Structure formats: C-alpha cells, structure tokens
Structure 1
Amino acid sequence: MDGLTGVRRYFRKDLVPLLADLRLAIVLLLAIAVFSVSGTVIEQGQSLSYYQTNYPEEPALFGFLSWKVLLTLGLDHVYRTWWFLSLLILFGASLTACTFTRQITALRWFSRTWNFYSKPRQFEKMALSTELSQGSLDQLTPLLEQRRYRIFRRDDSLYAHKGLVGRIGPIVVHASMLLILLGAMWGAMTGFFAQEMVPSGQTFQIRNIFDAGPWAAAQIPKDWSVHVNRFWIDYTPEGRIEQFYSDLSVLDRQGEEVKRKTIWVNQPLRYGRVTLYQADWAVAAVRVRINNSPTFQLPMAELEAQGGRLWGTWVPTKPDLSAGVSLVARDLQGTLLVYGQTGELISTVRAGMATEVNGVNLIVEDLIGSTGLQIKADPGIPLVYTGFGLLMVGVMMSYVSHSQVWALQVGERLYVGGRTNRAQVSFEREFVGILDRLTDDTDESLKLTPREDVPAVVD
C-alpha cells in the first residue's frame, strides 16, 4: 500500500503539474509543428529508389540528410512514426492535465463564488467595490436585469453574473484540441493511400496501396469495385489541357451499380469511408487496323522525354513481324506521329483516319486513355472536423466576458462590488453606469474605489 500511495503522490504532486506546465505544452506544440512541416516538404510513402535518387549520400542535403538518414528516422512516413505519435500523446496528456488542474478547477472555484457575501470586508478583495449611503437591493435588481445579468438573492445578499460561456470556452477549446489529436492518431493508424491507373472501360479493386497504417486492413474495401465508364480530357483552343474527367461507377459483389459520379480535380467520389480523387492521366492503348484486318488493340508505354509527356507503341506491318512502325502520341486529341524502323518521321495520322506505311494501309481507330486515381481512406477525419468546429466555437466563447456583481445590504448602507475576466474597461464603465442610475445621478455619496492592488482575473 505504501508503494501505491507513493506512486499516487508522485503522480498528483509531481507528474501532473509538470504535464500541465504551459512551457512544456508550447515546446511540444512547436515540435509537432516542425515535424508536420517536414512531413509536408519530404514526399511521404515513396519507393526506395525514389529516395535514393532525390536524397543521395553524396552530396547529402544540408550536409547530412541522405536517404539512409531519412529512412532510419522514418521521415518517409512521419505521421506514423512512434516518436511523432508519442509527441501527440504527450501533448494530449498535457492538455488533459491543464484542463483538469486549471480550467475545471477554475470552474469549481466559480461555483463556490455563488456563495453570497455576508460581511462588508469581503468587498475589499474585489477589483471594483463601493459603499453607498443610499440605494437598496430592490433598486439594484432591475438595473442589473436590464443589462442581462442573471440574479440570485438570499436575505440581504445579492449575486449576479453574465457571460458564463466565457468561463466554459477554454474548456471547449481544450476538448476540441484533444478531439483533433485523437482523430489524427486514429487516421494515422487506420488510414491508407493508394494509386491506380485504370484504362477506360475496365473494372478494378483497390490493390496498389503505397502507404497504410498498421490497422488499415479493415478499411481496405473487399466487397465492392469501381468501373471506369469513360475517361476524357477537355482542351483549350490553344491545345492545352483544361480539365480531365472520369465517369465512375461503384459496383457491389454482384456487379450491380450502387453509385455513379463523374469526377474531376477537386471534385472526388466518396463511397463509404473511401474517397477517390482525380489525380493523373495517361494514354493507355491505341486501336488500329492493317488494311482489312480485324481491329486490334496495342498498349502504349510512357517514354522518357524532355519538355513533355510522350507515349509510344510498335505496330507490325507484316504478318511475320519483320517490319513495323512506331506510333507516338502526346495527348488524347488524336494526332499520332509515325516513325520508321530507322527512327525517321514518315507520317502523321489522326484517330479515325488512315495513312500508308511500308506498303500497307494503317488505320488508327481510337486512342484509349487511362485515368489516374488517388484513393484515400482516413477514418479520423470526422473527429478532426468535429474538433475544428468545436475549436472555432470555443474560441468565440472565450471572447465573451464573464462579469460578476455582489451586493450586501447592511442597515441603510449598500455594499456593491464586481469583477470580470476580460474587457476590464468596459466592465468599469458598465459598473459606474449602474451605480449612477442607482444613486439617481447624484455623486455626493458615491465612493467608487478601484483597487490597484487587486488585479482583474484574466484568462
């Protein structure tokens, strides 16, 4: 029992005050901000070859940041490293400790101040206090009600307050930040990112996952798939890409359509907890005929090129594959360049047209595009959004001044005092205005005593 008592004493006397220290919270918040920025600057979830190419050992970035250092520290997946999650947990513990040791304690103190003052000397401890030789509680009550004070009376004592939400606001702010932290950690542990490049007309399930939390398996959909009905690109009159679109259908296990939507950049498709974003595009294949042959489809691969993206394929022009031409496309507008076996440009052709090459008639029927989809699941987003909403509400609540007024009738004399947690000047003006009305605009018996040695309570 002595050991358990010692642990409780250490937790209550040493650990909790340390966690509730504002300086610790500021240091933790700055550390979280710095590492969050690093996770934005350094590309997350890329392949090993990507980091070896962009973060070589010689010369290392800033003299020390090579791909080995980056992977060792987990900077390729910052938001899921043990040390980043530990920072979030420690910051959450600091917020919780501060909430219970300061905010809720202050609220409990406020509940005790509802005790009515019964001795004149109690008014000397207030930021504003006065002693009046005229006036009564019955005259003071309607003046306070006009200014939206809530009034409580007991015998010859009065207590009034307004702006209680200003005391609750900081607690709401802390609770909202805890919700945001919880949502961020839950999303990091259970969310995933995937990328798919899918040609028009094909159906796919989410497979190409490049970043996932340790508990993400349950979030990866296995009971539905997505069919790409059509992919197309709108071009400007100058030939530049204006926007690209994907017409997608979500299919259940039986292949029945349960949702359909056309997506484009910044207009995703959401189904369940998964969101599909339009992120990229490519030329997937070309459909051609040689003379009167049946139509056949050839895949096109992206070529290494400077100054733009190119896709190409090889088309045989003889049955024994001893001769052929190369088709190169820059986009889906339909114009293809035809190159001979020695690399010379021999012709150009558009989709739906024909050209003669190597003694045969080459007909290009169509270019087929692929849609590049970025797929994301983050179960923590509802908590994060709820937290941000509460944060805004809590901040607005915190700006409301909590003003309190006490009064005590002792014979013919009336003692009045008050304080507020912010907007001290405005409260003083309101307080003086109430007393002016109370004394019926006569100042002879009014002795308002602002006490400089008693500071206003400011949160």
Structure 2
Amino acid sequence: MTIENSASKELKWWSIPGQYLRQEFLPILTNLRLAIALLLLIALFSISGTVIEQGQSPAFYQANYPEHPALFGFLTWKVIQVVGLDHVYRTWWFLALLILFGTSLTACTFTRQLPALKAARRWKYYEEPRQFQKLALSAELDSGSLNSLSPILQNRRYKIFQEKDNILYARKGIIGRIGPIIVHVGIVAILLGGIWGAMTGFLAQEMVASGDTFQVKNIIDAGPLAAAQMPKDWSVRVNRFWIDYTPSGGIDQFYSDMSVLNNQGQEVDHKKIFVNQPLHYHGVTFYQTDWGISAVRVRINNSPIFQLPTAQLNTNGRGRIWGTWIPTKPDLSAGVSLLVKDLQGMVLIYDATGKLVDTVRTGMSTQVNGVTLKILDVIGSTGLQIKADPGIPIVYTGFGLLMLGVVMSYFSHSQIWALQTGDRLYIGGKTNRAQVAFEREVLDILDRLSSQPKDDERANNQESLASNPQV
C-alpha cells in the first residue's frame, strides 16, 4: 500500500510540468497579440537588414556610420557592430525571434486550427424545432419536403448527410477550414528555410582576372554550418571577361564566360553570365556584380612580354581609374606611368613629372625615354558575388503553401440543417464568412422550395391532360 501511494505521488510530481505547460504557458504562446508583436519585430529587423549594408568590413561602417553626427541620433558603427546589425539574419536574437514565432504558430495550429477542422468534419442532426432558434438564419415552411430540398442542395455542391426520412444535414467549403492550417504550415516552412539558410549558407566575393582559375576563398559572411556547402573538389575558370559599350561610351553590359572544372581540370559546366543571369552549380550561385582592370600587357623594344598589375587609384568619387608604373631603364631609375579608365583600349602615358607624354590604343607603339613601348592588351577582371543558401528551396516551398492556403481560406464553410415534422419544414444554416452571400443563397433555396408545390401541381395537371385529351 505504501508503494502504491509513493508511486502515485511520484506520478503527480511528474505531471506538474505538463499541466503547467497546458494551463499557463500554452495560452501565452498561442496568444494572437504575441504572434502579431513577434511578426512586427521580425519585419522591423528584416527592414534594418535591408537598409543597413550587410557583411561589410569594420572600416566601411566607421566611414559611413560615424559617431559624430550619429544617424538618427543613435545609430553609429559601434551600435551596429555590438548589436549585430551588420549581420542581422545570423544573430542569435533574430534566430530566436524566428524560432519563437514558429513555435507560436505550431502551437496555435495544434491547439486551435486542428481541433476546429476536426469539429467541422463532425456533424450532428437537429431533431427538435427549438434547436433551429439558435441559428442566426432559419425559417419555418408549411410546404416543401426533404425530397425536394436534397436536389436543390446537390445542385449547389452541398454534401448531404441523411439517416432518417425527416432529418438532413448538408455542408460545403470544408476546404476553407483547411486553408488556415496550410497558411501556418507555409509560414513555418519559410521560417525553417530562413533559419537553415542562415546556419548553412555563405557569402563570398572574388575579383578574378580574365583567364584565371580560382576557388572560393574570400568568405565575407558564413553560418556556423557553412563548411559543408563550400566548394572543395571543383574550381572555376574565367575564360574571358568583356564589356559592351554604348555609342556614347557608357557601359551597356559586362559579361563573363565561365567554366566549372573538376579536380582533373575537365570542364563539367559552362555558362556566359551577366547581370541577372548567374551561374548555378551544386547549390552555389555566381553573380556578375562588378568589374575592374587587373593588368596591362606591354613590350619594351624587343623584350619579352610583361604583364604588369594595375591598382585602382583614389579619385575622390570622380570616376574609376587604374594605374601602373613601367621602368624604361634596367636599373629602374626612370619610368613612365600608365593610366586606364576602361576596356576600350585607350591608355594614357605620363612621365615622372606628371606630364602627359602620349595617348595610345592597344596594339600601338610610342617612343618614351628613348625606348619603344608597345601596349599589347588591357586585361579586365570580373567582380563576382558568390552565394550559397540551402534554405531557398524550403522558403520557396513555404511561399507556395502560403499562397495556396490563402486561396483555400477564401472558401466559405457553409452548413444547412433541415427537419420535417408533419407538414412543417424547418430549415436553418450558418457560415463562417461571406454572410450576405450565404443569406441570399438560403433565401433562393427557400423561394425554390416555396414554388415547388406549384410546379408539382402544374406537372400533375399536364399529366392529367395528357391521359384525358377529351377533357
């Protein structure tokens, strides 16, 4: 006896957390106000992640968000980096908001939506006239019958349940009860996709010269589980980079012809990319985002061909210019500077005093400092943004379910009861939305039932005339 009491006490002790969750925590978790507040917070921080540049260097934020004057009086580079606004979507607090919101939706689905669907699938008959008084829309007819009501409801796509000759229940639009559940599933899928992408995705940038082969190394931002997504057994070669210019000299479009190579150097994929036309391979996407000039190929007199790297010069926002220095004497005591602003082949040559010596195009030669300098080529470089986000398919699936659920939710769940007692026919109904349209539908049903006896009498008279033509 003592053992049983001890076991009973132990069972009650273990049941306390479950009871507390159901009675105290679940009502808070499934509260509509909490869900709306979480949604607004997620939207607010998502907007901040769109407005504030993500994944930039500390120097970038120090230059664009100084302490004096602070943006909006409080937003400085220190605030951005301490709070994590430079990588909003991977901060612990943003992921916590997503998890809490998803948990709230899931709890609401299991505690409210699924029971509501289960209740909607059950039906009960009204067997007493007084039960119809509870319905907002009901009527009592002294004509009509269930036999004439059934085909009218069937024509309006109602599903009819009838066990007795004098009792009827009909419903349609049960899909409208499923819609909110699909909406919740879609939103949870979007949240899961966002969390999975934040944990496993990465963002990188590369500036690659035309003709070079590279592997993704310059990682700007990455989730804690992103190592599995990073390319290890393949590389990419930029076969050629070029720019199409407008007749006025502006840039029309820039292109990169790219090949994906395996470990043996064999091409396994190939594509010409440009803005809004990226290369996709094994879940990694290569976007064309920038360009530059990486080198200039020259020959001095009859020397071998030199490929000299260029550097972008600071022009204080007055255009982009790349420059390099070429020695014209073996002891490097003299030389000239080359300046290039685009890939149209125009090269400016300056001496040591900063004086413009000559302007030449690729393939042309000029005399400087007693030597013949020939400009063979200007080599461009492509700026690539490389991104992997394994959560995108989950997010797209969630958006599809969300749109499907919204469409399904527009269907009204309408119910009609009928009871016939003697020569009296009681009809009532209710719906969860589109109340005015449902009232019109019920009134039309009642009108057709009221006119049914006249139609039956007219049909009987025609049959009588047909059987007695002399009358």
State the secondary structure of the residue aligned to 2:154: helix
State the secondary structure of the residue aligned to 2:244: strand
Partner of residue 143, structure 2: 134
Of 90, 93, 104, the match for 1:94: 104
CA distance, structure 1, for counterparts of residue 452 and residue 421 of structure 2:
22
Trace 1:51-66 onto structure 2 (pairs within 5 A): 51-66=61-76
CA distance, structure 1, for counterparts of residue 95 and residue 158 of structure 2:
46
Partner of residue 171, structure 2: 161
Displacement of 1:8 after TM fit? Answer: 1.0
| 1:199 aligns to 2:189 (yes or no) | no
Bigger Cα Rg: 2
CA distance, structure 1, for counterparts of residue 57 and residue 184 of structure 2:
38
Partner of residue 338, structure 1: 349
Structure with the bigger percentage of helix: 2
What RMSD in Å do the two structures reach over aligned CA positions? 1.4
Trace 1:197-346 onto structure 2 (pairs within 5 A): 197-306=207-316, 307-346=318-357
CA distance, structure 1, for counterparts of residue 14 and residue 67 of structure 2:
52
Q: Percent of aligned positions with the same letter in both sequences?
A: 67
State the secondary structure of the residue aligned to 1:79: helix
| 1:76 aligns to 2:86 (yes or no) | yes
String of CA shifts for 1:32-87, please: whole Å, max 9, x gaps.
11111111111111112222222223333333322222211111111111111111
Partner of residue 365, structure 1: 376
Of 388, 404, 419, the match for 2:415: 404
CA distance, structure 1, for counterparts of residue 208 and residue 35 of structure 2:
47
| 1:150 aligns to 2:150 (yes or no) | no
CA distance, structure 2, for counterparts of residue 3 and residue 274 of structure 1:
52
CA distance, structure 1, for counterparts of residue 99 and residue 20 of structure 2:
20
Partner of residue 22, structure 2: 12
State the secondary structure of the residue aligned to 1:278: strand
| 1:42 aligns to 2:43 (yes or no) | no
Whether the 8 Å contact between 1:264 and 1:278 is mirrored in structure 2 is: yes
CA distance, structure 1, for counterparts of residue 271 and residue 300 of structure 2:
37
CA distance, structure 2, for counterparts of residue 380 and residue 63 of structure 1:
36
Whether the 8 Å contact between 1:325 and 1:340 is mirrored in structure 2 is: yes
Please report the TM-score for the alignment, with normalisation by the length of structure 1.
0.94
String of CA shifts for 1:259-318, please: whole Å, max 9, x gaps.
100000011010111110001000011111112222111111111113100100011111
Partner of residue 401, structure 2: 390
State the secondary structure of the residue aligned to 1:211: strand
Q: Which amino acid aligns with 1:253?
A: N
Q: How many aligned residue pairs are there?
A: 442
CA distance, structure 2, for counterparts of residue 120 and residue 336 of structure 1:
97
Q: Which amino acid aligns with 1:238?
A: S
Whether the 8 Å contact between 1:436 and 1:442 is mirrored in structure 2 is: no
Displacement of 1:442 after TM fit? Answer: 8.1
Whether the 8 Å contact between 1:287 and 1:366 is mirrored in structure 2 is: yes
| 1:426 aligns to 2:400 (yes or no) | no
Name whichever of 167-176 and 46-55 sits farther off. Answer: 46-55
CA distance, structure 1, for counterparts of residue 133 and residue 178 of structure 2:
27
Of 124, 134, 138, the match for 1:115: 124
String of CA shifts for 1:360-383, please: whole Å, max 9, x gaps.
111111111101000000010001
CA distance, structure 2, for counterparts of residue 187 and residue 425 of structure 1:
45
Gaps of 5+ in 2: 1-10, 455-471
Q: Which amino acid aligns with 2:283?
A: R
Q: Which amino acid aligns with 2:27?
A: P
Whether the 8 Å contact between 2:169 and 2:418 is mirrored in structure 1 is: yes
Whether the 8 Å contact between 1:17 and 1:97 is mirrored in structure 2 is: no
CA distance, structure 2, for counterparts of residue 267 and residue 210 of structure 1:
22
Whether the 8 Å contact between 1:223 and 1:253 is mirrored in structure 2 is: yes
Q: Which amino acid aligns with 1:335?
A: M
State the secondary structure of the residue aligned to 1:440: helix
Displacement of 1:409 after TM fit? Answer: 2.1
CA distance, structure 1, for counterparts of residue 344 and residue 353 of structure 2:
26
Displacement of 1:97 after TM fit? Answer: 1.7
Partner of residue 426, structure 2: 415
Please report the TM-score for the alignment, with normalisation by the length of structure 2.
0.92
